[in-house]
Structure 1
């Protein structure tokens, strides 16, 4: 993934379809797999979230060249304002958006989200941000992603997008915390990383009991 368009393509054509169990290879409908991923092995605990961190637009020192500068992310230039869909301050009366879309343009703090600071390859990112939750039917999530794409939810001021989810594999009794991070560089490139943190809940519980 090297561009914003490629990231959207991955979101809309790969990621979102795989967080719900789809038909089996022979076309049979999956039964008793509500909440499972498309691998039919891991169950989603709660729901996946997509959180964006953005920067403010700053005036360049030499405005004869360009009037707006796009800097790297820092704790001092993070955008935290509330916006209407499309990153505007004006209400569009003719358009009706779902609550999920409206919420995705409203900043939430780390305390509200119960999240923490995360260190990436190109920045140290706060736990707040603009959040979209992958909740509801697959068709609704696809519709919402298309709307966010059309509204330029990811644009030149985006500096990081986190996709976070927690999985449970009942076969091996293993919980896994998954973080997929895409860092959007001021030069236009995108750097992606993934972190998987397994937790064997039952062995930890047994250890605590005997200890």
Structure 2
């Protein structure tokens, strides 16, 4: 788009220059279209520079501390969107209130835009309290106090809370990987993967992790003797409880099990 607008402006400048040469400057030349094209080109270049500069933040991904800003905004985007909708409704309501009350008594409330600018200055604690009091001894302080309570103490406190909570969550969940610690190590790792050496190190790392997992793995059959002994102890206790009322004691479940299978010690695998 910028290239197209630039070509359009270049052709318009040539047209105006040729017309000036033909008339030697004695004819009326309408520069309205040229100014309009130049303004559009300036706006587009301004936004392009703005977004292009913001893309430089992408280089901050190599440092974990600098990526906290991007990750915090990304984590809190839903809450910030909902907060922005709520704050917009409250702010528009106060714009209507101040504009209708003080449109004829305050120069800063003569238009909607100037009223909005005044309210933003109040949010930043930059205001003229005497002018508001002189405009209306009762409605001025009342409206001002109401806006301070809702706009500053409530809305701004909610905004700071959302950002603070998101920052804590992002800082706690930040993964410590190679791309965030050292840019040179990250580029070296990518280069090794590209030429094939990095794949061997990844395979070796995978084999080491697999061996570590196998060394910590326990076969379920190893715990079978202990589980069987626990079961026999539970049966003994149940059998003894049932035979407490009888005079002649009888063999317990463990004794019967040992006599049947000829085992005189605990079960082993």
Band the TM-score falls in, shorter-chain normalisation: under 0.3
Larger-gyration structure (1/2): 2
Between the two structures, name the one with larger relative contact order (CA 8 Å, sep ≥ 6): 1
Return the structure number with greater strand share. 1
Return the structure number with greater helix share. 2
Q: With structure 2 as the length reference, what TM-score do the two structures score?
A: 0.18
